[in-house]
Structures are given as structure tokens and as C-alpha cells.
Amino acid sequence: MKYLVLLLVLLLGIGTWRSRRAAQGSAPPPRASAQDMPACAHCGVHIPQAEAWTLGNQAYCCAEHRQLGPG
């Protein structure tokens, strides 16, 4: 008899957990949009394209490396 009660409590808990999960939505959280991550031509550090210092088709992580050029 106690195993039957334990089974009922377990099933009730699983049912409650699944219903709350379904109410919240099971879709994964939104991710940040992907963007290009070029490597610095001097040191090789990858940086977001929006933050890169560019000279021609080369990307650099900072103004100093842009002045120094490819390492």
C-alpha cells in the first residue's frame, strides 16, 4: 500500500513539473545574433567586426596594432 501512495505522489510531482514547464514554454532562450569575428593581423586575437580597427582588408584589435601592421 505504501508503494502505491509513493507512486501516486511521484506521478503527481512529475505531472506538476511538466505542466509548469509547458506553461513557461519549452523553447530555448534567444541567442545573440552571430557576427564575424576576424583575427587581429598583428597578434591574432579574435574581435567582433563592429569593434575592429580596419586598414584595407586587414582587421586589428587596437589602434596601436593597426599602426604596427602585420606582426
CB 63 within 8 A of CB 42: no
Q: What is the pLDDT of residue 28?
A: 63
Q: What is the pTM of this model?
A: 0.51
* Average pLDDT rounded to a whole number, residues 56-66: 93
CB 68 within 8 A of CB 42: yes
Over the stretch 8-20, which tens digit does the pLDDT of each residue have?
999 999 999 988 8
Over the stretch 12-46, which tens digit does the pLDDT of each residue have?
999 999 888 877 765 666 666 678 899 999 999 99
Could you tell me the residue ranges of all domains in the chain? 2-25+35-68
